Structure 1
Amino acid sequence: MGHTDVPGLDLDRFRDFFERACPGVVDGPLRARLIEGGKSNLTYEVADSQNSWIVRRPPLGHVLATAHDMSREHRVMAALHATDVPVPATYALCDDPDVIGAPFYVMERVEGTAYRHAAELERLGPEQTAAISARMVDTLATLHRVDPVAVGLSEYGRPEGFLARQVRRWQKQLDASRSRELAGADELHESLAARLPVEGVPAVVHGDFRLDNLLVEGNEVAAVIDWEMATVGDPLTDVALLLVYQRMAVPGTASAVTNASTAPGFLTDAEMLNRYADKSARDLSAIGFYLGLAHFKLAVILEGIHYRYIHGQTVGAGFDTVGAMVEPLIAAGLTSMKEQN
């Protein structure tokens, strides 16, 4: 597996740190491979003769202060490990950027598949697909039942005024990347600002919960991964974002982040909402607001990518179509504001 040298992970320096942090765990020479690279945090598998671990660090060449990201991910997983939420065990956090060039942490390698494409689920058949999508919803409800204070995460986010801050934050982001008129953007923002619901009991919010951020083994969720957006706040933001990702997975459109939800047997939006409401005992009557906010957030993120693309700041292919996805998302956001469960 892999080499002794991988970009962004000096194995000799890593070994020195890991052996001090966890004496006696490393047996024999280490080798590593990059599992996932790109614009978010880098993920490596590191192995000796007996065991393997997962290492996460910020992207190469990232100039922002990212020590925060690593410690946030590590802290939330460590806090959740004693709960019913399936998360990898964490072994060590290194805040010192001098060891490998950036902060990083080490966690358990969990067996499982991150399903991203409908074709992967179609091979399993509709019954197993239904079971997996049901377990995904159950896992989200399990996460949202955790008391952030009881697991030591009371200082992890600022739940008071969470939704109002979210609306302001994404409007500010949009203002920072305005290069054109966007039909409906002001109307959606004003509608969100005017219709802030009473927030429910705060919960640990994953921030990017979808099937390809879960490791599935058989029909069970073996681990929830990619906690870099996690906070403490209103859990219905997770529910709405999950549904919007699925609505973007319409066959024949270029807008899908993941299209797994189009596989036969996958729970419908209504089935998911009803199952979540049943498992979480949360009131979903204001789900329209949360869907509007989720559409707004994704539209703003995509407009930021479009802005960087037209200013020649993106690397690689596929960015030329992003701009065309923004106004349809805004329109869908305005429509979804009327929904109720």
Structure 2
Amino acid sequence: MPPARPTLRTGIEEVDPRHALDVPRLEACLRAELEEFEGILDVRQFVGGQSNPTYLLSDGTRSWVLRRKPPGKLVSSAHATDREFRVLSALAGTDVPVPRVRFYCDDEAVIGTEFYVMDRVEGRILVDQTLPDWTPTERRALYDSQLDVLAALHRVDFQAVGLDDYGKPGNYFARQVHVWSKQYTASQAEPDERCASMERLMEWLPENIPADETTTIVHGDFGLNNLMLHPTEPRIAAALDWELSTLGHPFADVTYHLSARLFPTSPFQDFDEAGLRAAGLPTQDEYVAGYCARTGRDGISDLDWYLAFHLFRTAGIMFGIAGRAKAGTANSDQARSLGASAVPLADRALEFARALGA
């Protein structure tokens, strides 16, 4: 019997008591920072994310979105709301659709952690990337739009928009393997929690990195769940959740979606290539070709290494979520079920690595 697919909720609800805000202090801050703020502050919370708690703010007439670091003890490199704010500010005015950011607050006395506020972009967040109930024409249009946005991001001159020090050019994958190895290790409190597949990948991946040092801005989490869709049309209205963005290799973003198709619980597992084409969903080869056509590349060599890396990376993220769920700091009740996917993801990554000689 195949593993159950975790159900991710999206939407807006009352604020989780674990992430409650000091509303009067926040309202005073908003009045000082937003000239147009009037009325009485109402705060609700978006559900579905696993990282930085996100809130809908309203004064009865207008609305904004607040992103904050979660409360509690955190991994030092995680939940970088300041980096999100910086990259969103830099991308304003480029061909990459992003929300307009309004201000950043590093005064933890306001709501207990650092946060930033941005304009709300109206639209839809979709979790199932096979887009059930859509027509083949609509699916093709949305994936074309996704690739348009990704190609636009990778064409941005990061030096011209002031992000030349946003990351370290070169050695991106070596640094990424180190980061997620460190997170995995930190999440394993007991020796008997160690994962054999992760341990082997931590040795093999850095020794077999493809020799390509292309550097662009990378989003780091470029799935449909982090893209705001137009309310009615099959196109992207805004790219969200830039917490993992940095300067890095563009193939990391390209293969992010392709690796997600390989998850044991992915709905893409229900499709063969003929089924994908009939449904209007790009095959792996078509997705790569579409990206390369938009960016002037001939193709992506070493694709299997990049897929092994991404599955490893996602496993590292899930191990981190599992560790935070155990510690009581995870951002949703879905954290435990997501954390349970860590080992199968690591095992799948090792399958790709073994095909390459690991």
TM-score, scaled relative to structure 1: 0.83
> Quick check: 2:311–2:345 contact (8 Å CA) kept in 1?
no
1:47 aligns with 2:58: yes
Kindly report which structure 2 residues correspond to 1:144-159, keeping only aligned pairs within 5 A, or say none: 144-159=154-169
2:151 corresponds to which letter in structure 1? Answer: A
Aligned partner of residue 207 in structure 1, secondary structure: coil
1:123 aligns with 2:133: yes
Alignment deviations for residues 94-121 of structure 1 (CA, whole Å, 9 cap, x no partner): 11111111111110100111111268x3
1:132 corresponds to which letter in structure 2? Answer: L
CA RMSD of aligned residues (A): 3.4
Alpha-carbon distance between aligned partners in 1 of 2:78 and 2:256, rounded to the nearest angstrom: 26
Give the CA deviation at 1:146.
Answer: 0.7
Kindly report which structure 2 residues correspond to 1:285-300, keeping only aligned pairs within 5 A, or say none: 285-300=301-316
Kindly report which structure 2 residues correspond to 1:90-169, keeping only aligned pairs within 5 A, or say none: 90-117=101-128, 121-169=131-179
Alignment deviations for residues 10-64 of structure 1 (CA, whole Å, 9 cap, x no partner): 23212222222232x1122221211137641111111123211111112233556
Q: What's the counterpart of residue 209 of structure 2?
A: 196
Alpha-carbon distance between aligned partners in 2 of 1:308 and 1:68, rounded to the nearest angstrom: 13
> Quick check: 2:171–2:213 contact (8 Å CA) kept in 1?
no
1:198 corresponds to which letter in structure 2? Answer: A
Aligned partner of residue 92 in structure 1, secondary structure: strand
Aligned partner of residue 17 in structure 1, secondary structure: helix
Aligned partner of residue 117 in structure 2, secondary structure: strand
Alpha-carbon distance between aligned partners in 2 of 1:189 and 1:63, rounded to the nearest angstrom: 23
Aligned partner of residue 93 in structure 1, secondary structure: strand
1:329 aligns with 2:345: no
Kindly report which structure 2 residues correspond to 1:126-275, keeping only aligned pairs within 5 A, or say none: 126-176=136-186, 177=188, 179=192, 182=195, 184-185=197-198, 187-217=200-230, 218-248=233-263, 249-251=265-267, 264-275=279-290
Alpha-carbon distance between aligned partners in 2 of 1:122 and 1:116, rounded to the nearest angstrom: 10
Alignment deviations for residues 210-259 of structure 1 (CA, whole Å, 9 cap, x no partner): 01100111122100001111111111111122211122254498xxxxxx
Give the CA deviation at 1:179.
Answer: 3.1
> Quick check: 1:118–1:262 contact (8 Å CA) kept in 2?
no
Alpha-carbon distance between aligned partners in 2 of 1:181 and 1:106, rounded to the nearest angstrom: 39
> Quick check: 2:102–2:119 contact (8 Å CA) kept in 1?
yes
Aligned partner of residue 95 in structure 2, secondary structure: coil
- How many equivalent residue pairs? 329
**Cα distance change of structure 1 residues 118 and 263 upon mapping to structure 2, 3 Å threshold:** farther
**Cα distance change of structure 1 residues 211 and 38 upon mapping to structure 2, 3 Å threshold:** closer
Give the CA deviation at 1:142.
Answer: 0.9
Q: What's the counterpart of residue 17 of structure 1?
A: 29
| Structure 2 residues not aligned, in runs of 5+ | 1-11, 270-275
Q: What's the counterpart of residue 280 of structure 1?
A: 295
Aligned partner of residue 80 in structure 2, secondary structure: helix
**Cα distance change of structure 1 residues 100 and 193 upon mapping to structure 2, 3 Å threshold:** closer
Higher mean C-alpha deviation, range 310-319 or range 99-108: 310-319
Aligned partner of residue 261 in structure 2, secondary structure: helix
Alpha-carbon distance between aligned partners in 1 of 2:78 and 2:319, rounded to the nearest angstrom: 27
Q: Which has the higher contact order (CA 8 A, sep 6+)?
A: 2
| Structure 1 residues not aligned, in runs of 5+ | 254-260
TM-score, scaled relative to structure 2: 0.80
**Percentage identity across paired residues of the two chains:** 35
**Cα distance change of structure 1 residues 122 and 175 upon mapping to structure 2, 3 Å threshold:** closer
